[in-house]
Every structure is written in structure tokens, then in C-alpha cells.
Structure 1
Amino acid sequence: MNKPLLAALSALALAGLGAAPAVAAPLTAAPAPHQVKSPAVTVNFAGTVSLSDCSGSIIRFAGSADSDPALVLTNGHCLETGFPDPGQVITGQSSSRTFGLLNASGSKIATLRANQVVYSTMTDTDVTIYRLTSTYAQIKSSYGINALTVSDTHPTAGTAIKVVSGYWKTTYSCNVDGFVYRLKEGDWTWKDSIRYTSSCNTIGGTSGSPVIDTTTGKVIAVNNTGNEDGQRCTVNNPCEVDAGGNITVRQGINYAEETYQIPACFTTGNKLDLGAAGCVLPKP
């Protein structure tokens, strides 16, 4: 994994299968002369946060209200109480974790606090979602910062993206190279992961960074891992597994977990409802 920094500095603690070709971005026809391509949005650090040893972002959904308690998205393996076990899903766990709120230039302008781990798992995906003690409106009024919106549609190969690390105050620019049927690292397995092109060379401490579509400005994934040493399916050395069980190792390539499934699991008031129609996140 692009493990928490503390794990990165210790003896390769945790942060995850022959070979199949990389999935190439599909070719698209050039737009007709009367069509205008949407310009890329400005992606900066506004709305991202730094954790004690990871990165994250303040997120909202299309149905979120300004009066709702704000949410923070990071990785499951960034959970302060330790990595969730395979098959484990944590909901409603008390938390007092703090987050450094960044402005557009990456300067810390406030400390925000959580009161709950709304959802956390490392099964099928690698996410933790915190509930803050502040609403979106309060954060906007006090600091001028808007939350990032999570896209509710599956990302597309070839999409230009930026991985924005609040911990390192660093932005990585690349494209979605393709999608991985199963990504296996140690005891954990993730489904339908995003593979970056090589220029997103993320490191320890970037775990939990939002992956932002530069055309829409929306969050399409959360950064979580990369193969560091070329090992096969070990901690910090995830391998790709295709539908036929063939294993591919790509040393130096990094990955993220899609987030389009998350909005369907939240209802009015930013409340988690794992029984909601269309919600496919793993359940306890």
C-alpha cells in the first residue's frame, strides 16, 4: 500500500497474482468541428486534508445539504485503530481524530475534528469515511472551503486525473491506465481497482488522497497502493489478478480504489444506509 507514513518508515509494515497486458485507453473519435471539448478544471489543495500519517479529503454527494455534517474520505488502512481484517466492516465507531484543512495553495488553515467513523473496510475496497463535528456550511463560512463532490458514475480509461496528497502537499498528474479485476496485497483483495499510468508515482503518506477527474473536478477514486519491490502479492507489492486467475506484477505502478459506489449508500442528512437501493458496499 501507499502505506501510512509511520508504517513506511518502519520495517515495511502494512499499508496488496502468468501475466496479462495492461488495459489500453480506448481510442476516441475527434469531436466534430462544432463541438467544444470541456476545459480542464483547476485542481488544487482546497478541500483536501492531512491526517497524522495519511492524506484525505472533505467529500459530499449530489444529495448532501450544506447543513449536513461534513464527511472526510481516506483509506481503510489509515484507520487510527488499525487495519480492518479481511471481511471486516466497521460502522458507527467513535472517533476524535483531527484533520488539517488545507487551502488552495496547500497551507493549513484549520484543524477539524471527527466524532465518528461512519464506515471503514479493506474488503473489496479500501476506504474510511469520517463524520466531522462541523457542517459544510460552517466550514465554508469560517474558512471559504468547499467539499469535493464524489462522482456516482464508473470512471473511464484514459481519463486525465490528479492525485492530491494533503500530507505531502504534492499533486501527481497522470491518466487512468485501466482497471484491475482483482488487486491482491497480502491478506486483502480489492475489486475493480484503478491502475495509474506511470507518472503517478505515489509514495507512503499519499494513502487516502482523492483521485480527481481534471475535467469534472469530481472525486473518482481514493489512492491506496503500489508495487514497490516487484514482489508478488505481498504487503506493499500488490499483484493484479484477472478473471481467469492469471497474475501480473507491475513494479513501480500505483493504484486506487473507485468511489462511485459510495453515494448510493448515503441518504438524507449524510446518513449511512447500507440497505439502500443500489448500495453495494460490503456490509458488516
Structure 2
Amino acid sequence: MKKPLLAALGALMITGTGLAAPAVAATETKTATSTPAVSESAAGEPAAIQAVTFAGTVSLSNCSGSVVRFPDSEDDDPALVMSNGHCLETGFPAAGEVIVDQASTRTFGLLNSAGTRVATLRASKIAYATMTDTDVSLYQLTTTYGAIRSSYGISPLTLNDTHPVAGTAITVVSGYWKRTYACNVDGFAYRLKEGAWTWKDSVRYTSACQTIGGTSGSPVIDNATGNVVAVNNTGNEDGGRCTDNNPCEVDENGTVTVRAGINYGQETYQIPACFGLDSKLDLNASGCTLPKP
């Protein structure tokens, strides 16, 4: 996994390498619009794209995240924040563990388009979290989408409900570091194995997205639509084979491939089918394929 910040700083203290301290990170910060991504149409002409900014992203105590909605969400629905399962305040879920409707009062720093923190949002519960098949956490907040928009002028990011496409221009937007990473979807890993955990159909980035610890949970945004297609979660740091911080790809035949320095996200298109009215989780809903407790 892309280490939560506290774990990464611990490694830095022990080894003298790794993630930069927060005071240094300020020198690395750039706005999402400083180097706009450009996509092309099938005819080779530049395609119209949405400006990718920090609006709707959040900073956690140790990770990144975003306020997300589903295609059918309404303004009076309780708002949700998405991050990684490995970013939970209670620690990493075990392989096979699924957390549902667990009380939480965790807070999140809401960012505007420029990356300025404009509010503190609070959770009422962890609606769903797991590191099995995927690596995701969804917190339900004490406020609604409409209230956030009315108070701060910030709309949630929409989760796309269709499978991402190879070659798509994407931006990983880290609310923790207030930094963006632009690249493309390189392809998909049938299985991505890291230590005790295995994830299905993971998004592989091209090498330009050199994400670091603290970017865990960042939304992966399709530049052309502005919609979220994945949640950033890991990368092979040292060329290791299927170990912690060194995930490996396993294909349908069991062949293992190690891609040193390459980073990954977990698809999110399957999530909307599991939530209904009022942001209520229903793991038995038609089309819902998320793991159950």
C-alpha cells in the first residue's frame, strides 16, 4: 500500500529514506491546473476536458480522500467520503474482513479548487470498508451534499458507474499533499497481490504517476468527464515480489509479473449499485458485487 502518513514517517525515522516531512512537502505542491492534461478524440483532435482541481477532495489525518456521490444521489442525501480501507483510523482490515455501519467521528478537511481548506467535515459512521477484492472505505457524514454546496460552494465528485478504459487520461488528486499526478490508464491487473491482500481488476497507471505515501485514498479522475474511476492505493516500491509495499500482478493462468516503480488504483464503478436512497448501503441490491461481511 501507499503507506498512511504516520507509517511512512515512521519508516523515514528508521531508515532515513522515504516520504518527505510535511514542511518539505510544501515545496512540491502544485495546483491541478498548472499543467493541464490534454486528451485526444478518436480523430486525433484535442477533446474537450473538465478542469481537474482540488474541489471536493479532503485531507485525512494520514491519507487523502474525496466527497463522492453516485449518479442518482440527491442533495438531501447524507454525504459520503471515500478513501482506502487501509486508511481506517482503526488500522488495516484483515484479509476477508468487511466493515459495515461502524460508528465513527473521524474528521476530514474539505478543500476548494485551489487546495485551500475551507471546512472540517465529520463522519457519523464507516458505511463500508474492506481490503478484500478492493481497497476502499466509505464514511457517511453528519451533513448532506446540498448543505456542503450551500455553505462552501463545493460539489461532490461523481463516481462513474462504468468500467474504466485503457488509455484514458487521468489525474490522481491528493488532498493530503495538495498535489496532483497526471498520467494514463496503462491497463488492468487481473489480480493484484500484496502481502496478505488480493485485489481484483486493479487499474495500472503509466509510469508518470509516481504517487507517494499519503496519496492513499486519492480519487483517480477521468480528465475528460471529471468523474472518479478509481481510488489510488498502492505501488511497487522496491521491485519486490508480492510483499507489503511491493504488489505483484497475477494473470488468469497464475503467471506473476512484477513492475517496479509502477502504481495502482482500485476501480470504483461497482460501488454505486450497492447504495440506494439516502446513501443507504444495500449489499444485496441487484448488481452489487462488493464483498459482504
Q: Does the pair score TM above 0.5?
A: yes
Of all paired residues, the percent bearing the same amino acid is 70
Match of 1:55 in 2: 64
Q: Which amino acid aligns with 2:274?
A: C
Match of 1:167 in 2: 176
Match of 2:209 in 1: 200
Match of 1:84 in 2: 93
Check the 8 A contact 2:181/2:210 in 1, yes or no. yes
Match of 1:257 in 2: 266
Moved over 4 A (4+): none
Residues of 1 paired with 2:140 and 2:109: CA distance?
A: 15
Residues of 2 paired with 1:10 and 1:261: CA distance?
A: 34
Q: CA distance change for structure 1 residues 246 and 39 in 2, over 3 Å: closer, same or farther?
A: same
Q: Which amino acid aligns with 1:274?
A: L
**How far is the alpha carbon of 1:62 from its aligned partner?**
1.1
**How far is the alpha carbon of 1:10 from its aligned partner?**
1.9
Match of 1:6 in 2: 6
Cα shift readout 1:153-185 (whole Å, capped 9, x = no counterpart)? 000000000000000000000000000000000
Structure 1, unaligned runs of 5 or more = 14-27
**How far is the alpha carbon of 1:30 from its aligned partner?**
4.0
Match of 1:43 in 2: 52
Q: Which amino acid aligns with 1:6?
A: L
Match of 2:43 in 1: 31
Secondary structure of the corresponding residue to residue 175 of structure 1: strand
Match of 1:18 in 2: none
1:65 maps onto 2:46 in alignment: no
Residues of 2 paired with 1:5 and 1:184: CA distance?
A: 22
Match of 1:220 in 2: 229
**How far is the alpha carbon of 1:11 from its aligned partner?**
3.4
**How far is the alpha carbon of 1:246 from its aligned partner?**
0.6
Secondary structure of the corresponding residue to residue 7 of structure 2: helix
Number of residue pairs matched by the alignment: 267
What's the Cα RMSD here?
1.6
Residues of 1 paired with 2:206 and 2:80: CA distance?
A: 29
Cα shift readout 1:30-83 (whole Å, capped 9, x = no counterpart)? 439xxx864111000000000001000000001111001100000000011011
Relative to the length of structure 1, the TM-score reads 0.92
Residues of 2 paired with 1:72 and 1:202: CA distance?
A: 20
For residues 140-151 of structure 1, what are the structure 2 equivalents within 5 Å?
A: 140-151=149-160
Report 1 or 2 for greater relative contact order, CA contacts < 8 Å, sequence distance ≥ 6. 1
**How far is the alpha carbon of 1:29 from its aligned partner?**
8.9
Match of 1:128 in 2: 137
Q: Which amino acid aligns with 1:249?
A: V
